[in-house]
């Protein structure tokens, strides 16, 4: 495969990208003997050394179970584990840490709401409102539950430009609508949805609001109280944290009224042969030994993001996305999916006339460039655009315009290879 060279990395007006990149050991890797260009951040982000060190330090110095021991190691582990919860709570603007429920990821958090709140509150004749741009994690749980409880699922349609058709809301949000669940930012077309506007419309008819924040929490300032939402789900691994840890935030009164999601140890106050009493929040929803090291790692990731500044990250990604959308159309036969740069977050999905997305990704890998190809767990949205798959480049705080240039150069090579 052809070799590539990386030109010096300049600082943007928002971030010291050179210093940031030095914090991520994997960015020093070479793939096929060229520098790694990692543009798959919407799938998972890379980890700074401080996050890696936080988990290693826990295992080397503090390894013990939480909440269950009075010895020193257990007390230290509990303090670090609950300290991470407090960091996450502050990061998203929650009123208190007890409103943050640890889950494995955003998928489990969305399922928790469906199977706990949904099973307790939905019935035949009710409506759950979703959108056509949802990740499968915000579609399948409701489809499963609807088959059991016989409520209706309705969808806000997506326009050709990748934005929601809000003119449909008055007929979709009625007294029958009990929940409006939607993504804050599409993982395919990158659309940043008007969360406050959608929430206000839902609350007018008495519907609760669940937001999939998997693509928004890592990339822009988020304050759940200012948004006035009822629930929000997000994943740690997309925001510089470890895999296997995520969170559900919910209003305390709603969480208190919901039945436990799973039964077992650590989620109970007392158990008898005749029954049990659940523990208080947040442990009511956290059965079994939790992902202790991962939670501590996520706490370290929140520290890193907070030190850099979420507004600076957001603005730098907007600048990089605008640059990418300026450069990518130079490639023959390339079609960008979704809205203009000012209406989207830090990702660009596209198709090429010359090649299937999987072929695009395979060729780019030969140049050390990592992108995503497929339907990105959003198959209905691809059906909406009448395409089987797309290629996706997604950015984060450590990406540069020079990497966009290498992407464009690689795509020109793809076109050359597949044009006969």
Round to whole Å and give the CA distance between 392 and 397. Answer: 17
Cis peptide preceding 289, ω within 30 of 0: no
Residue 130 parent element (H or E): strand 127-131
Residue 268 parent element (H or E): strand 268-272
Say how many C-beta atoms besides its own lie within 10 A of residue 288's C-beta: 10
Cα angle: 340, vertex 344, 347; to 5 degrees = 105
Range list of H helices, 129-217: 140-149, 169-172, 195-204
Are 368 and 2 in contact, with CB atoms under 8 Å apart?
no
Say how many C-beta atoms besides its own lie within 10 A of residue 322's C-beta: 14
Say how many C-beta atoms besides its own lie within 10 A of residue 43's C-beta: 16
Are 361 and 373 in contact, with CB atoms under 8 Å apart?
yes
| 348 phi/psi in degrees, rounded to 5 | -140, 120
Which positions are catalytic? Answer: 377
Alpha-carbon distances, residue 98 vs 15, 76, 258, 280 (angstroms): 33, 19, 14, 9
* Beta strands 334-337; 347-352: pairing state: antiparallel
* Per-residue tokens: 89: 């709570």
């Amino acid at each position: 495969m052809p070799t590539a060279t990386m030109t010096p990395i300049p600082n943007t007006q928002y971030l010291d990208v050179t210093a940031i990149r030095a914090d991520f050991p994997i960015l020093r890797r070479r793939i096929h003997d060229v520098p790694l260009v990692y543009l798959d951040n919407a799938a998972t982000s890379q980890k700074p050394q401080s996050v890696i060190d936080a988990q290693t330090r826990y295992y080397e110095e503090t390894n013990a179970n939480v909440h269950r021991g009075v010895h020193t190691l257990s007390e230290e582990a509990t303090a670090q584990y609950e300290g991470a919860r407090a960091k996450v709570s502050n990061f998203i603007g929650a009123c208190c840490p007890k409103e943050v429920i640890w889950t494995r990821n955003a998928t489990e958090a969305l399922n928790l709401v469906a199977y706990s709140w949904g099973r307790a509150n939905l019935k035949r004749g009710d409506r759950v409102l979703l959108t056509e741009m949802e990740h499968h994690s915000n579609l399948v749980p409701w489809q499963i539950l609807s088959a059991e409880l016989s409520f209706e699922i309705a969808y806000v349609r997506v326009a050709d430009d990748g934005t929601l058709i809000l003119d449909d809301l008055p007929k979709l949000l009625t007294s029958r609508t009990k929940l409006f669940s939607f993504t804050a930012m599409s993982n395919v077309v990158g659309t940043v949805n008007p969360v406050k506007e959608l929430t206000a419309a839902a609350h007018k008819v008495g519907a609760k609001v669940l937001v999939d924040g998997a693509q928004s929490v890592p990339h822009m300032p988020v304050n759940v109280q200012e948004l006035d939402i009822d629930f929000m789900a997000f994943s740690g691994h997309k925001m510089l944290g470890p895999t296997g840890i995520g969170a559900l935030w919910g209003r305390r009164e709603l969480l208190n009224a919901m039945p436990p999601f799973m039964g077992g140890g650590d989620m109970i106050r007392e158990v008898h042969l005749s029954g049990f009493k659940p523990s208080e929040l947040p442990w009511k929803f956290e059965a079994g030994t939790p992902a202790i090291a991962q939670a501590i790692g996520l706490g370290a990731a929140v520290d890193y993001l907070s030190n850099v500044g979420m507004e600076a990250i957001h603005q730098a990604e907007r600048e990089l996305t605008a640059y990418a959308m300026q450069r990518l159309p130079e490639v023959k036969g390339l079609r960008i999916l979704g809205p203009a740069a000012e209406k989207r977050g830090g990702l660009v999905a596209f198709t090429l006339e010359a090649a299937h997305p999987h072929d695009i990704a395979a060729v780019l890998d030969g140049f050390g460039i990592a992108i995503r190809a497929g339907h990105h767990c959003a198959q209905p949205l691809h059906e909406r655009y009448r395409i089987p798959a797309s290629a996706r480049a997604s950015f984060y705080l450590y990406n540069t315009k020079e990497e966009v240039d290498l992407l464009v150069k690689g795509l020109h090579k793809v076109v050359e290879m597949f044009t006969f």
